[in-house]
Amino acid sequence: MTFDSAAQPKEQVSNCNLCGGVRFTRIAHKDRYGHAATTDLCESCGLVFLNPRMTAEAYERFYQTAYRPLVSNYHGRDITAETIQAGQASYAQEIGQLIAPFMPEHAAFLLDIGGSTGAVAAELCKTFGLSGTVIDPSEPELEQAKAHGLTTIQGLIENQDLKHPFDVILLCQTIDHLLNIKATLLKARRLAHNHSLLFVDIVDFREAYLHGGLVEALKIDHPYSLTDDTARAYLRYTGFDVRRTEWA
């Protein structure tokens, strides 16, 4: 499938999502897939983001139809809701070992934001005896999550009005896909109680461009490109304490 990013509706970013700054430096005009994807860097805090970027509706369509084919074509292999689950389950085992010392006492409910096929949530629910909910825009991937016995919500987290408290909240390879990181983390904080656990991981933009080059580090599916510094700043601003960091 060929995805025409130029034909998609877009919206301009006028204020930095992290610090509210308005002075940006343009650092790139295309992404790793060859799509036109102008990217700015906030001169105040260093946040990197697409500007303009696709609208929420365009991103929902993108994840439902074009995302996996685009990534499959880039890597030269089939990456589908079926083929990714073994890797996701293995990744979940690593997460389980990382978060085990910090699991809240009597934890019961897990929320996986951008949880894909539910393989990660299912593995962690089995390990820690939790009931899991997965939010994701892709219907085929949520079908797999339902098969794992998980509650599913189709769509973007920014459009969901959740009120149920959760003991464990996951943003697994998801935070840079969000359209509003600050609002999502504030929402996660409202859904958490004082002893809840948030797990989040990033592709560090600084490490990525030093390793593979600037354009290689940018993706049309990543409205934001975070670093260790900007990720920590987001967490501090939204009321989370960093309990453990691990580099992979």
pLDDT per residue over 186-208, tens digit each? 999 999 988 899 999 999 999 99
Q: Under a CB-based contact definition with an 8 Å cutoff, are residues 115 and 173 in contact?
A: no
Token pair 């030269």 is found at 76
Give dist(CA 18, CA 231) in Å, integer: 9
Measure Cα distances from 64 to 70, 121, 156, 185, 190 in Å: 12, 20, 11, 24, 28
pLDDT at 81: 85
Give dist(CA 94, CA 124) in Å, integer: 10
In sequence order, the 6+-apart residues with CB closer than 8 A to the CB of 178 are 114, 157, 158, 184, 223, 224
pLDDT at 194: 84
Confidence of residue 180 (pLDDT cuts 50, 70, 90): very high
pLDDT per residue over 104-116, tens digit each? 999 999 999 999 9
Mean pLDDT of the chain: 94
The residue-averaged pLDDT of 25-50 equals: 97
pLDDT per residue over 22-36, tens digit each? 999 999 999 999 999
Confidence of residue 118 (pLDDT cuts 50, 70, 90): very high
pLDDT at 183: 95
The residue-averaged pLDDT of 112-129 equals: 96
State yes or no: pLDDT of 185 exceeds 70. Answer: yes
Q: For the beta carbon of residue 240, count every other beta carbon within 10 angstroms.
A: 19
Share of the chain above pLDDT 90, in %: 87
Give dist(CA 218, CA 198) in Å, integer: 25
Predicted TM-score of the model (pTM): 0.94
